[in-house]
Amino acid sequence: MAEITLTINNRNYDIACDDGHEEHLRRLGAYVDQRVNDLAAAVGQIGEPRLLVMASLLIADELHEAMSKLGAAGNGNGDANGAVIAAFEEREVEVAEALEACAQRLERIAATLATT
């Protein structure tokens, strides 16, 4: 198991991942960092947990739009596209659940930091 450090909103996060997935995870982290930075530029530094939740929701919305476009493009193209769309929809639920868990964890961390 590999471990990398991602920097998001000028804060380092140590993340474990499967060997060989380090570069992919770095690209994902850079994308999240860019979205958080864009959001912070638009609304200001409103607190890290809130910024991360809002950026996660924006990214989830991007995923939803991409899946919707895939579904529209796949209409009438048979069962193969339907299977792909179903797989994406299943992952969308998993992503939403993971985002919710992350948001709750970030809120607990923020609350802990606020009391110390």
pLDDT digits (tens, 9 = 90+) for 61-96: 888 888 777 766 655 555 556 666 677 677 777 777
Q: DSSP letter at 19?
A: T
pLDDT at 4 over 90: yes
Query: Residue 4 forms beta bridges with which residues?
Result: 15
Topology of 1-44 in CATH? Double Stranded RNA Binding Domain (3.30.160)
**How much is the pLDDT for 30?**
93
> pTM here?
0.62
Nearest-CA neighbor of 17 among 5, 2, 6, 37? 2
38, 30 Cβ separation under 8 angstroms: no
Q: What residue ranges do the domains of the chain occupy?
A: 1-44, 46-116
**How much is the pLDDT for 95?**
73
3-state secondary structure of 36: helix
